[in-house]
Amino acid sequence: MEKENRIRKNSDFRVVYSKGKSYSDHHLVLFIKKRPDNGKKFGITTAKKMKKAVDRNKIRRRLREIIRKHFDFVLSGYDIIIMCRLNGKDADFSQLEESYLRLLKKSKVWKKESN
């Protein structure tokens, strides 16, 4: 994921949390906020209860790959934060990907179907 497509500042995360809408399922929570320009930015967080750094980093690597894989199918003009719940620690890659796509379609920021 390119640097210009990342949410990095704590203040930016807080704005999306407070003013955005949230969509959730068993593994993930998506926070989505409309942007004033036509870009799209992503942020990744994990549940505070995930104690081991190994688990948190593994989840973040998987989510970055899922975002990269489906980046072109997400509508422009949104800030999106993906938070992995504690249940997501035990999910495999395909379950996380399925969860991510389901939430994007539910939030109506999904452009079209991919193959």
What's the burial of 112, exposed, middle or buried (CB within 10 Å: 0-12/13-18/19+)? exposed
What pLDDT is recorded for position 113?
Answer: 62
Instruction: Please indicate, yes or no, if residue 115 is contained in any of the structural domains.
Output: no
Structural domain that includes position 47: 3-107
SS3 label, residue 89: helix
Instruction: Please indicate, yes or no, if residue 113 is contained in any of the structural domains.
Output: no
What pLDDT is recorded for position 4?
Answer: 87
Q: How far is CA 34 from CA 7, 15, 69, in A?
A: 14, 11, 22
Instruction: Please indicate, yes or no, if residue 78 is contained in any of the structural domains.
Output: yes
CA pair distance 49, 88, nearest whole angstrom:
12
Instruction: Please indicate, yes or no, if residue 7 is contained in any of the structural domains.
Output: yes
Instruction: Please indicate, yes or no, if residue 59 is contained in any of the structural domains.
Output: yes
Give me the number of domains the chain comprises: 1
CATH of the domain at 25: 3.30.230.10
What pLDDT is recorded for position 114?
Answer: 47
Residue type, 65: E
Full-model pTM: 0.90
Instruction: Please indicate, yes or no, if residue 15 is contained in any of the structural domains.
Output: yes
Per-residue pLDDT tens digits for 12-70:
999 999 999 999 999 999 999 999 888 899 999 998 888 899 999 999 999 999 999 99
Task: Compare 1 and 86 and report the one with higher pLDDT.
Answer: 86
Instruction: Please indicate, yes or no, if residue 114 is contained in any of the structural domains.
Output: no
Instruction: Please indicate, yes or no, if residue 35 is contained in any of the structural domains.
Output: yes
Residue pair 77/34 in contact by the 8 Å Cβ criterion: yes
Per-residue pLDDT tens digits for 83-113:
999 999 999 999 999 999 999 999 999 987 6
